[in-house]
Chain A
């Protein structure tokens, strides 16, 4: 099976040769529930072992110049897009295997689509990252609080129980449905704008100990699709049977 996957990758993926790991079917239990919200089945699917790197993203930019720093449309990225790079197609040599950051949701989404993949959903990311595992909660919180932590190459540390690497401790990652984390201007019967962001969501948390999860929820609720930042990157997933949904 693995060799077939690899062969398919060689044939159908002209750009990236990054490894993927298989995520078996699992159930995601949402921590912040809206009325009627149920557990979500995720997988089975293939998820990139590591976040997308500068080198990988460069190949995409070269094939799709509309996503280069100078050409990207204002609709798809705020200023600052790929600003860690030194030009449209260059970055510090030592950073080739660093995760690409300063990318917008649109760019990340198009990158994945160009590889026959898609961005993971919140549920898929939360499961694959194992980030809600109470055993690593304190480790994650320590990283979240250390805003000056430096970037480094991907895949330097051992993977989690699924073999997924760098899900925690290196960068934050885009998810396809980030906009489901809703904090303002929503249709929940005239609730005042910021109520969900703090009070509402915190009160609805099933397990208040999962503070790191709450922080990710809050972060996603603050994102817009054009946004980019120094520590926000992404990885892609792929359906095992059939194409991307």
Chain B
């Protein structure tokens, strides 16, 4: 047991020395002041795993907030997301990350996220997340998402798709379902 501990220690020191300029160092560099990864809330993804926002650092991504029981605007915004991701991916070798955060801290669960992912045929690398009311309020406030829970349990909410750089700063946003994708995709292209 002691030996294992010693080896682990030795290995971690070696690799730390080795990675002097590697991605590890980058991940511990201070976050830019506008980064949403400063929020310390904890979320559960569609596989039931606990996720801190800071763990999303490292690759640019599209972000939306919605609730999966929504049957009016949400399917449309998800289709919009798919189209945008397809357009962005057409010019790259790696697929763009997409993170969907649920507004519904009351009813959303990893299971309902997973069911939504299947029903909407979302790519498996997309992340869907749920958390408590405080976490939702702070993330929404940081992004500028407005929302209101109705007695039915449904939500009125902003329809905005955000593009975040790898440090979690909002670089571009697309407001409304009917707005055109062209400008948004162009902005993503120049910031990838």
Produce 1/0 per residue, B61-82, CB < 8 A to A.
Answer: 0000000001011100000000
Chain A minimum-CB-distance residue to B154: A36
CA distance A225 to B38 in the complex (A): 15
**Given the complex, which residues of A lie within 8 Å of B141, measured CB to CB?**
105-106, 179, 224-225
Residues 12-53 of A contacting B (Cβ, < 8 Å): 34-38
With the chains together, A35 CA to B36 CA distance in Å?
32
Contact B145 A74, beta carbon cutoff 8 Å: no
Give min CB distance, A97 to chain B, whole Å.
29
- Chain A contact patch, size range: 20 to 34
Q: How far is the CB of A58 from chain B (nearest CB, A)?
A: 23
B147 in the interface (beta carbon within 8 A)? yes
How far, in Å, is A175 (CB) from chain B's closest CB?
Answer: 12
- Which residues of chain B come closer than 8 Å to A245, judged between CB atoms? 133
A199 close to chain B: CB less than 8 A: no
Interchain CB contact under 8 A, A190 and B177? yes
A188 within 8 A of B: yes
Among A75, A105, A187, A225, which residue has its beta carbon within 8 angstroms of that of B159?
A: A187
Residue of A nearest to B36 (CB): A75
A176 and B137 contact, CB distance less than 8 A: yes
Q: In the complex, how many angstroms separate the beta carbon of A192 from the nearest chain B beta carbon?
A: 9
Within the complex, what minimum Cβ distance (angstroms) separates B105 from chain A? Answer: 12
A-chain residues with CB within 8 Å of residue B178 when the two chains form the complex: 190
B37 CB to nearest A CB, Å: 9
> From DSSP, what is the main secondary structure of chain A's interface residues?
loop
Q: Which A93-118 residues sit within 8 Å CB-CB of chain B?
A: 105-106
Interface residues on B, range: 35 or more
Q: Decide: A75 near B150, CB < 8 A? Known: A185-B160, A187-B159.
A: no
Q: Across the interface, do A187 and B72 meet the contact criterion of CB distance under 8 Å?
A: yes
CB <8 Å contact, B142 and A185: no
B186 at the binding interface (Cβ < 8 Å)? no
Per-residue CB proximity of A214-233 to B under 8 Å, as 1/0? 00000001001100000000
Best-buried of B133, B146, B147 by chain A (most CB within 10 Å): B146
Which A residues touch B39, using CB under 8 A?
75
- CB contact under 8 A between A186 and B151, given known A74-B34, A75-B36, A179-B146: no
Contact of B145 with A179 in the complex, beta carbons under 8 Å: yes
Name the distance in Å between B108's Cβ and chain A's nearest Cβ.
16
Closest 7 CB pairs of A and B: A225-B141, A74-B33, A187-B73, A180-B148, A179-B146, A74-B34, A185-B158
Residues on B close to A: CB < 8 A?
A: 32-36, 38-39, 70, 72-74, 133, 137-138, 140-142, 144-148, 150-152, 155-160, 175-178
